[in-house]
């Protein structure tokens, strides 16, 4: 639940609006892209979309672009899900500049559905790194596909329309979806309710998560997740198959747990993709977590971050989690299980920024320094 003190200023603002009659509600409804939130956004929970993120750390600053998608894309008005198919022939589609409002590129006054498509060469990417598709800001709603597979969605299409125009799109793309030998196809379904529409601003591209190139074991991608809290969730033999699946790293608020404050658990079971040396020290890195965590590997606690400060004072969310793995704890053969108890004390929560994986002692110093 959102804490009362977090919304109290908003409630005072709404009261002032009502008492002094200083807002034209019709104008607000038809111009919701002003810098200030509208009356109804203040009154209801869309207000929280406008809250500032933590002021110190930009959640995307660790990523760097390796494929530039600021270019002409193929564009077609309408809505046909077969257009997500990478084999679909889009030669008859028009070209449109991305980023940019489609109203300023020949489609003035159009509101509704449209699709964008673009190709990129996967040979520019390296399989040992973790990748994001970052599209910037889309007005209003999108579903984004890579090689025919849905990789991300922001907002809700009609009939239960909810805009996502003020969300910077960043979608993790697993290496299993990428053709590292050649052609890849991005397809984006966009719905615009009114006024400007399309992939409107930002620096679209395929990005590498900084630090992922140092990992021996890449642990990006799907993890099991629950908002329940039981001590036995740390046990390696616990059956978590009925838990939800979320992507790591990403705020849980963006994955169906909007405005969840409190305690939740993540779990990941995996086999080693490298052979650990007997005398080598390895580290588990979980990137940045909002706000506190207790981390277990194969049932043993290996690290904790907690500064005993409250909302607005705590800076634990800024810290990169890097926990040494006790020698002999990793199973060379068979399954390993990571369990992470996370406590969020306000605003966004969860494992939200990489790198996420296992790194050797010789590489951990450079990885931490480059992320500061």
Residue 31 has pLDDT above 60, yes or no: no
For the chain, helix, strand, coil in percent to 5 are: 20, 40, 40
Report the candidate in 99, 187, 163, 111 with the shortest Cα–Cα distance to residue 136.
99
Indicate the length of the chain as a whole number.
372
How many whole angstroms separate alpha carbon 172 and alpha carbon 254? 12
How many whole angstroms separate alpha carbon 224 and alpha carbon 248? 10
Print the SS3 string covering 303-359.
EEECCCCCCCCCCHHHCEEEEEECCCCCCCCCCEEEEEEEEECCCCCEEEEEEEEEE
Residue 68 has pLDDT above 90, yes or no: yes
How many whole angstroms separate alpha carbon 273 and alpha carbon 332? 9
How many whole angstroms separate alpha carbon 341 and alpha carbon 305? 11
- Residue-wise pLDDT tens digits, 248-258: 988 898 788 88
pLDDT confidence bin for 23, thresholds 50/70/90:
very low
How many whole angstroms separate alpha carbon 137 and alpha carbon 87? 27
Instruction: Report pLDDT for 44.
Output: 39
Range list for CATH 2.60.120.260 in the chain: 63-209, 214-371
Q: Beta-carbon neighbour count of residue 106 at 10 Å?
A: 10
Residue 21 has pLDDT above 50, yes or no: no
What average pLDDT does range 277-283 have in this prediction? 92
What average pLDDT does range 170-183 have in this prediction? 91
pLDDT confidence bin for 128, thresholds 50/70/90:
confident
Max CA separation in the chain (angstroms): 72
Instruction: Report pLDDT for 353.
Output: 86
For β-strands 141-146 and 149-154, DSSP reports them as antiparallel
Question: Residue for token digits 């609006």?
Answer: 17
How many whole angstroms separate alpha carbon 250 and alpha carbon 171? 9
Bond prior to 351 in cis (omega within 30° of 0): no
CATH 3.40.30.10 fits 214-371, yes or no: no
Report the candidate in 305, 286, 151 with the shortest Cα–Cα distance to residue 209.
286
pLDDT confidence bin for 22, thresholds 50/70/90:
very low
Tokens of 18: 């009502």
Which of helix, strand or coil describes residue 74? strand
Answer left, alpha or beta for residue 308, where phi above 0 means left and psi between -120 and 50 means alpha. left
Phi first, then psi: give them for residue 274, nearest 5 degrees.
-140, 165
Question: Residue for token digits 């699709």?
Answer: 115
Run of H or E residues at 360: strand 350-360
Residue 20 has pLDDT above 90, yes or no: no
Give this prediction's pTM: 0.68
Residue 213 has pLDDT above 80, yes or no: no
**pLDDT greater at residue 212 or residue 327:** 327
Question: Residue for token digits 């003190």?
Answer: 5
What average pLDDT does range 57-67 have in this prediction? 69
Q: 63-209 adopts what CATH topology?
A: Jelly Rolls (2.60.120)
How many whole angstroms separate alpha carbon 254 and alpha carbon 347? 12
Which residues partner with 189 through β-bridges?
A: 115, 143
How many whole angstroms separate alpha carbon 145 and alpha carbon 167? 18
Q: Cβ(190)–Cβ(199) under 8 Å?
A: yes
């Amino acid at each position: 639940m959102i804490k009362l003190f977090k919304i109290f200023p908003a409630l005072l603002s709404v009261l002032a609006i009502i008492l002094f009659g200083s807002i034209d509600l019709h104008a607000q409804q038809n111009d919701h892209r002003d810098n200030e939130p509208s009356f109804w956004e203040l009154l209801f929970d869309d207000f929280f979309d406008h809250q500032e993120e933590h002021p110190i750390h930009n959640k995307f600053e660790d990523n760097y672009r390796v494929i530039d998608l600021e270019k002409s894309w193929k564009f077609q008005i309408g809505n046909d899900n077969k257009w997500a198919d990478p084999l679909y022939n889009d030669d008859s589609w028009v070209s449109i500049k991305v980023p940019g409002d489609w109203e300023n590129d020949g489609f003035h006054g159009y509101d509704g559905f449209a699709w964008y498509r673009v190709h990129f060469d996967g040979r520019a990417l390296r399989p040992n790194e973790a990748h994001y598709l970052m599209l910037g800001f889309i007005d209003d709603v999108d579903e984004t596909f890579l090689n025919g597979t849905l990789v991300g969605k922001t907002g809700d299409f009609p009939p239960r329309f909810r805009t996502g125009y003020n969300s910077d799109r960043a979608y993790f793309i697993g290496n299993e979806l990428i053709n590292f030998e050649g052609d890849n196809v991005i397809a984006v379904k966009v719905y615009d309710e009114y006024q400007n529409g399309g992939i409107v601003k930002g620096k679209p591209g395929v990005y590498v998560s900084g630090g992922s190139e140092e990992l021996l074991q890449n642990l990006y991608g799907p993890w099991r997740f629950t908002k329940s809290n039981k001590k036995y969730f740390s046990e390696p033999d616990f059956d978590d198959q009925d838990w939800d699946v979320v992507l790591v790293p990403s705020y849980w608020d963006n994955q169906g747990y909007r405005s969840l404050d409190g305690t939740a658990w993540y779990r990941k079971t995996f086999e080693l993709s490298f052979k650990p040396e007997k005398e080598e020290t390895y580290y588990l890195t979980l990137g940045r977590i909002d706000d506190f965590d207790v981390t277990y590997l194969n049932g043993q606690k290996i690290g904790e971050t907690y500064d005993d400060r409250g909302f607005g004072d705590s800076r634990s969310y800024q810290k990169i989690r890097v926990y040494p793995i006790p020698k002999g704890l990793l199973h060379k053969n068979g399954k390993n299980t990571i369990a992470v108890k996370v406590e969020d004390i306000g605003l966004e929560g969860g494992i939200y920024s990489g790198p996420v994986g296992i790194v050797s002692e010789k590489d951990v110093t450079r990885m931490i320094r480059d992320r500061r």
